[in-house]
Chains A and B, each alone.
Chain A
Amino acid sequence: MAQALVDLLRDTFKEAVLSSHSHRGDEVVVVRRESVQEICRFLKDGEARMQLLRYIACVDLLTYDTEMTGGGALASNEVPAYDLAKKAPREPRFQLGYNVYSVVRKQSVRLRVELRSDDVKVPTVTSVWRTADWWERYLFDMFGIDFIGHPNLKRILMYPEFQGHPLRKDYPTRKRQPLVAELEFPDLIRGPGPGPGGAGVPMSQTHVGRKNVDPTTYD
């Protein structure tokens, strides 16, 4: 549908476009991360007129090859913590997807940027679309992606005391980081989880927040 647009991108950015394919009618263009800003500016202001950034998504492919093929159920109680040694690492680990849409032309295209796990940096597109501000904060919060040049890169959903990035595949499924000291209450169904102090540590000793947290300090 938007093959002409993909061809235009390929012609304009010969170096930056790595590959392209179509997945169930959605055009996907894999681009180099250094030129993401440039391509986004071209898509918005050029004749493509992609004025709407629908979303920026991120995929963690750490367990992509192993988990679906008998890698073990991560969420079960039998596997308390994620065992990285048994899994074959997959690089590049992260995939960023920019889904942009043109209201005028009624076409959409998805830009994909692949990031290696040792270098999760990508230039921000906040200067192109204002809505990218919160999407990038969201991805920083959930995946720890570092958007270079973002004006206000801090957590948007989780609290400032939260440690780690919960949607990464190596974040422990049962890990809890309570903000206030929790009452001693035995979890009869699930048992103690692998919290910050490990299994068996009372939840009241694992809170990460200050005492007497003032809710008005959170924005």
Chain B
Amino acid sequence: MADGRLPILRPEGNVPESPRLHPGAGEEAAVPVLLTRREDATSWFERKVSGALGWARANSIFQYPFVTACCGMEYMSVMCGRYDLARFGAEFPRFTPRQADLLMIVGTINVKQSPVLLRVYEQMCEPKWVMAFGVCASSGGFYDNYATVQGADRVIPVDVYVPGCPPRPEQVLDGLKILQEKIQTQRHALHSVERSPEMREDKKRSFLGKLLAK
């Protein structure tokens, strides 16, 4: 305070994801910025809420099984008593995409089915995740032919790939745990989800920030 400048306030622990803190790479990022107490409080709150939301979402995954091929037998095995996906919170298969969090693409996706898969994915509510179950859903597998989509990621974005033809149930459990880790560590923004360009324009403000601004 001796030279008349304001003190630089830095948050302890995690750095909040504010665009003011990360204006760019290189030297600009090293420039200390002023963080107001309101931003500090908001980011702290967001971190806490985000962690809680991640914990809640990662441990209550309702999956929609999009079963098209023989991997469905392994899916049944995973869901049944010996391997028991319910131990990890993925308890209920929901047979409507509107109630599901996780779209499990179990089996080959052929070209004629791809509009159906796309529509099922679009019917799911945010937040949503996708698991490609088996090599056919991951890369087309050995169906390198005219009828098969060479991986479901050519139609919809995929979060976790579980290889195998069919995958062992342990691999599916491993894939689920990887997905849980991803859900837990990802930032669950309090602001509105980017769905359309007009929402992305000026409504990308934090919910708490709007409250505090009033």
Contact = CB atoms under 8 A, between A and B. Distances in A.
Contacts of A166: 145-147
A178 B147 contact: no
B150 A187 contact: yes
A128 to B, nearest CB: 30
Contact of B146 (A171, A183, A185, A218): A171
Nearest to B151: A185
Contacts of A157: 147
B118 A180 contact: yes
Interface stretch (B79-87, B98-106, B107-115, B200-208): B107-115
Interface of A is mostly: loop
What is the interface residue range for chain A against chain B?
20 to 34
A35 to B, nearest CB: 35
What is the interface residue range for chain B against chain A?
20 to 34
B159 interface: no
Interface of B: 111-112, 114-116, 118-119, 139, 144-147, 149-151, 153-157
A183 B155 contact: yes
Contacts of A173: 145
B154 A182 contact: yes
B147 A179 contact: no
Given A175-B146, A215-B116, A159 B154 contact: no
B209 to A, nearest CB: 33
A102 B186 CA distance: 66
A159 B111 contact: yes
B144 A190 contact: yes
B153 A185 contact: yes
Interface in A126-167: 157-159, 166
Interface string A180-219: 1011010101100000000000010000010001110010
A183 B119 CA distance: 15
A51 interface: no
Nearest to A171: B146
Contact of B114 (A180, A187, A214): A180
B124 to A, nearest CB: 16
A218 B147 contact: no
Nearest to A210: B115
Nearest to B111: A179
A177 B146 CA distance: 7
A219 B155 CA distance: 22
Contacts of B146: 166, 171, 175-177
A158 B150 contact: no
Contacts of A179: 111-112, 114-115
B114 A178 contact: yes
B147 A180 contact: no
A176 B111 CA distance: 9
Contacts of A159: 111-112
A183 B158 CA distance: 11
A176 B118 CA distance: 18
A190 B150 CA distance: 10
Contacts of B111: 159, 176-179
A157 B145 CA distance: 14
B150 A218 contact: no
A115 B146 CA distance: 25
Contacts of B150: 176, 187, 190
A197 to B, nearest CB: 16
Interface in A23-64: none
A66 to B, nearest CB: 22
Given A159-B111, A166-B147, A203-B154, 15 more contacts: A158-B147, A166-B145, A174-B144, A176-B146, A178-B111, A179-B111, A179-B112, A179-B114, A180-B114, A180-B155, A183-B157, A185-B151, A213-B115, A215-B119, A218-B112
